[in-house]
């Protein structure tokens, strides 16, 4: 099969007359779909197109030979597959090419009558559950989803905050924590940082989920359960940019999952020609000393004259951190605890790291006051709640 150089996110495969018609409707209604159909059927006729009409909204490719070979050869080329093939046949065909839930694409199977869109593989991490819902909406079908957290309308532990870019500090306790959630054990959610709008279901948060916004509140919740003679929390879901020890985590629950929101802004100033390695050493050493997680860094902010600083640009590129640059006027609008006449003489701003961090974070407070180390100055701010939607204020940078 000559696969496209730039495939769409999804592929739809049909091998029956009715399946071809459903694939046409799905691709036209869903968007982002490459269609592969058995060459024995005329896709234009099956889809109801008029003579001479083209499939301008999607790419359609006929194939001959084995659908098994088609699926196995192209399986990992797409984010998801929508298969108008019987469920049992799909399971047998894709079994040899399955790797793991972190890398396998989503697989949705639709029956030949278009009544059901079944999430078969990678329902959570691969997005098959959501894809099944979208396909069902296009076809007027019923989505079939068996993942416990989705069926129970509760927290999907392994996906919490994923749309905001949150990452897991580690996944050792994801399975027992997920079990605690779906088995309706009391679960504590403690959020110290990050976007607050992570609960997006139309139903209320389940009553077994106890949500706290501070360490003091969480400790009070644990104490209250003990006072009432109730069992402790079955799991802790911790959303934080701070580094916790296992001893600290264990005081709340036997199992925990730690999420790293993108909540920290690094304000950085440096002398011209400062090596990337020196800047990185100051960043990592400072965050470690202050108990802050480098995985929670959202962006780096600086003055506009440093937006092309080689070492700083290289560090941001390698780490995947946006580099935001502000003019001296923008920086001077921010409050500064340590204004510098010398910095002003050279740059036109009374400071770089402090005001840049605060401006990008949308706050007038710093988590870490300016630290001077060698050729580098560093300040750290936490994004204010109003900006914790994945965005940061943009300056004059690239």
Per the structure, the count of domains in the chain is: 3
Which band of pLDDT confidence, cut at 50, 70 and 90, is reported for residue 49?
Answer: very low
Pairing of strands 116-121, 142-144: parallel
Pairing of strands 297-303, 323-326: parallel
Q: Is 245 exposed, middle or buried, given 0-12, 13-18 or 19+ CB atoms closer than 10 A? A: exposed
Residue 96 in this model has a pLDDT that exceeds 80 = yes
Q: What CATH number did the domain enclosing 178 receive?
A: 3.40.1390.40
CA angle 323–353–348, rounded 5-degree value: 100
The DSSP secondary-structure symbol of 292 reads B
Domain boundary among 89, 111, 146: 146
Q: What CATH number did the domain enclosing 342 receive?
A: 3.30.420.180
In terms of average pLDDT, the best of 46-50, 167-171, 360-364, 386-390 is: 360-364
Q: Please check whether residues 286 and 374 belong to one and the same domain.
A: yes
- Report field, pTM of the whole predicted structure over 0.75: no
- Span 56-77, pLDDT tens digits: 568 888 898 899 999 999 999 9
Lowest mean pLDDT among 76-85, 98-107, 122-131, 273-282: 122-131
Residue 397 in this model has a pLDDT that exceeds 50 = no
- Span 11-26, pLDDT tens digits: 999 999 899 999 999 9
The residue-averaged pLDDT of 87-106 equals 90
pLDDT on residue 279: 98
pLDDT on residue 43: 58
In a domain, 330, yes or no: yes
Which band of pLDDT confidence, cut at 50, 70 and 90, is reported for residue 393?
Answer: very low
Q: Please check whether residues 355 and 325 belong to one and the same domain.
A: yes
Q: In angstroms, what CA-CA distances link 316 with 51, 85, 104, 162, 377?
A: 54, 46, 30, 22, 16
Residue 150 in this model has a pLDDT that exceeds 60 = no
pLDDT on residue 389: 47
In a domain, 180, yes or no: yes
Q: Please check whether residues 190 and 315 belong to one and the same domain.
A: no
Residue 395 in this model has a pLDDT that exceeds 60 = no
Domain boundary among 122, 146, 170: 146
Phi/psi at 78 (5° precision): -120, 155
Q: Please check whether residues 132 and 256 belong to one and the same domain.
A: no
Containing structural domain, residue 363: 264-387
Q: Please check whether residues 15 and 142 belong to one and the same domain.
A: yes
Domain boundary among 146, 178, 208: 146
Residue 367 in this model has a pLDDT that exceeds 70 = yes
In a domain, 334, yes or no: yes
Coil/strand/helix, residue 173: coil
In a domain, 379, yes or no: yes
In a domain, 397, yes or no: no
Residue 296 in this model has a pLDDT that exceeds 80 = yes
Q: Over the chain, what is the mean pLDDT? A: 88
């Amino acid at each position: 099969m000559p696969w496209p150089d730039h495939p769409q996110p999804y592929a739809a495969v049909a091998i029956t007359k009715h399946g071809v018609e459903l694939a046409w409707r799905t691709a036209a209604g869903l968007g982002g779909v490459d269609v592969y159909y058995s060459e024995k059927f005329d896709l234009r006729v099956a889809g109801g197109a008029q003579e001479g009409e083209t499939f301008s909204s999607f790419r359609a490719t006929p194939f001959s030979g084995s659908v098994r070979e088609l699926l196995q050869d192209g399986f990992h080329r797409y984010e998801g597959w929508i298969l108008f093939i019987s469920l049992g046949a799909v399971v047998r065909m894709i079994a040899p090419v399955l790797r793991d839930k972190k890398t396998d694409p989503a697989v949705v199977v639709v029956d030949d009558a278009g009544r059901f869109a079944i999430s078969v593989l990678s329902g959570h991490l691969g997005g098959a559950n959501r894809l099944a819902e979208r396909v069902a909406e296009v076809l007027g079908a019923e989505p079939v989803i068996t993942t416990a957290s989705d069926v129970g309308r509760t927290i999907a532990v392994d996906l919490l905050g994923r749309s905001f870019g949150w990452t897991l500090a580690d996944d050792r306790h994801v399975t027992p924590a997920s079990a605690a959630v779906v088995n309706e054990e009391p679960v504590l959610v403690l959020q110290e940082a990050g976007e607050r709008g992570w609960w997006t279901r139309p139903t209320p948060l389940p009553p077994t989920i106890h949500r706290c916004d501070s360490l003091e509140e969480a400790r009070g919740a644990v104490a209250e359960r003990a006072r009432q003679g109730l069992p402790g929390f079955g799991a802790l879901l911790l959303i934080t940019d701070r580094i916790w020890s296992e001893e600290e985590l264990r005081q709340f629950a036997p199992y925990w999952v730690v999420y790293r929101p993108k909540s920290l802004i690094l304000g950085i100033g440096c002398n011209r020609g400062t090596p990337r390695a020196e800047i990185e050493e100051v960043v990592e050493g400072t965050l470690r000393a202050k108990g802050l997680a480098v995985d929670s860094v959202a962006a780096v902010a600086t003055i506009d004259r440093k937006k092309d600083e080689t070492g700083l640009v290289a560090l941001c590129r390698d780490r995947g951190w946006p580099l935001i640059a502000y003019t001296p006027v923008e920086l001077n609008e921010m409050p500064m605890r340590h204004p510098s006449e010398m910095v002003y003489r050279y740059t036109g701003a009374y400071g770089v790291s402090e005001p840049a961090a605060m401006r990008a974070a949308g706050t007038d407070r710093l988590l870490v006051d300016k630290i001077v180390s060698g050729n580098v100055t560093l300040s750290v701010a936490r994004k204010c709640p109003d900006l914790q939607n994945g965005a940061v204020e943009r300056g004059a940078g690239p």
